[in-house]
Amino acid sequence: MGSVKDLILLKEATKENFGKGQFKFSDRYSVFDWGEMPDHIPNKGKAIVILAAYFFEKLELAGYPTHYLGLVEDGKVKKLSDLKQPTDRMEIKLLRVIKPKLTGNTYDYSEYIGQRGNYLIPLEVIYRNKLPAGSSVFRRLKRGDITPQDLGLKEMPVPNQILDPPIYDVSTKLEITDRYISWEEAQKISGQNSDEIQKMKKLTAEINNIISMEFKKIGLGNEDGKIELGFDSDRNLMLVDVLGTLDECRFIFEDIAVSKEIARIHYRDTEWAEAVKEAKEKNRQQWKKICRLQPSPLPEKLKNLISNVYCAVTNEITGEEWFKNIPPLKEIMYDIKGIL
């Protein structure tokens, strides 16, 4: 079980062959790595799975390998065009997940060395087209964890800076709390060579362009997002998890966030957010256990508006009215702006 979706195992993956499973997308949401929050966002799971399927099918037509097999309705695996109504299940090929061993505060990735294929690459690759004021990049720069040159920039960036060309960042995927790392460390821990790392960056750039063009059609900017990858049995890259959704990307309408960032903005100035920050500074591994406060539910009106955002984006990107009686996205965003 993940923070927002569950995995149903149908067939286990081996070194030679894909396994098979189903993602069951829930209405749960997570902010600040907390995991499941105290309330749920109606229709979020179905809106996410429909949008993810739309992008997977579009990418596969363009020749990009993915782990997507179809959507599940009435016990059958179907393409999006054959679906009668929104579903919360997606069937996928499964890869092996090789979890790094934790000893004290250090993760051991040595098992990745010499692996041929059919495994999840233990990284998240992030593209950044813009640096909004709340971007983690500014915190990392302030702490001295990175320099502008590490990001391919000539000088210190400023909030809301447009990045042309985009910058590409990388973080761990399978640790208790994901952490940003250098590309050199990413190559080392994942057992890849420099050519494979460059292929990951190139693929991320191409996916970034495809997602950006799709969202531009409905008046949204694509600020940043992430993709996850694996190797098939012949060590070819394949796209896994989901991509192009409001949980994987940060979109913008005028100056308003169109993603789960809306919930982050609501919580950002709360005492709970401060408690999370304090706990992470004390213990990066056990921070949630020692956090002195628990999060409160979202205000009802804001929760319903966020639900409408997920539904409206899916309707408008796919060009199908999957969710009935949903106002236009622009109207919803102005209502949210009034609250935030």
Q: What tens digit of pLDDT does each residue of 163-181 get?
A: 999 999 999 999 988 899 9
Would you say residue 68 lies in a domain?
no
Would you say residue 309 lies in a domain?
yes
Question: Domain span at residue 141?
Answer: 98-339
Would you say residue 151 lies in a domain?
yes
From CA 127, how far away is CA 138, in angstroms rounded?
15
Would you say residue 54 lies in a domain?
no
Token pair of 336, please?
A: 């949210």
Token pair of 278, please?
A: 């304090």
Would you say residue 93 lies in a domain?
no
Asked whether the predicted pLDDT for residue 296 surpasses 70, the reply is yes
From CA 228, how far away is CA 238, in angstroms rounded?
9
Share of the chain above pLDDT 70, in %: 99
Which residues make beta-bridge pairs with 130? 162
The pLDDT value recorded for residue 105 is: 84
| 5 touches 25 (CB < 8 A) | yes
Asked whether the predicted pLDDT for residue 191 surpasses 80, the reply is yes
Q: What tens digit of pLDDT does each residue of 82-125 get?
A: 999 999 999 999 999 999 999 888 999 999 999 999 999 999 99
Which among 222, 305, 292 has a CA at the least distance from the CA of 266? 305
- Phi, psi at residue 27, to the nearest 5°? -95, 10
- CA neighbours closer than 13 Å in the CB half-sphere of residue 286: 6
Burial 234-271 (b: 16+ CB within 10 A, else e): eeebbbbbbbbbbbbbbbbbeebbbbbbbbbbbbeeee
Asked whether the predicted pLDDT for residue 2 surpasses 80, the reply is no
From CA 212, how far away is CA 287, in angstroms rounded?
35
Tally the domains of the chain: 1
From CA 119, how far away is CA 95, in angstroms rounded?
5
The pLDDT value recorded for residue 134 is: 79
Q: What tens digit of pLDDT does each residue of 318-340 get?
A: 999 999 999 999 999 999 999 88
Would you say residue 177 lies in a domain?
yes
From CA 171, how far away is CA 186, in angstroms rounded?
8
Average pLDDT over residues 198-212: 97
Classify 2 as helix, strand or coil. Answer: coil
Would you say residue 82 lies in a domain?
no
Q: What tens digit of pLDDT does each residue of 61-77 get?
A: 999 999 999 999 999 99
Would you say residue 5 lies in a domain?
no
From CA 65, how far away is CA 329, in angstroms rounded?
31
Q: What tens digit of pLDDT does each residue of 139-160 get?
A: 999 999 999 999 889 999 999 9
The pLDDT value recorded for residue 1 is: 60
Asked whether the predicted pLDDT for residue 78 surpasses 90, the reply is yes
Bridging pattern class, strands 101-103 and 89-94: unpaired
CATH number of the domain at 162, please.
3.30.470.20
Name the average pLDDT for the chain: 95
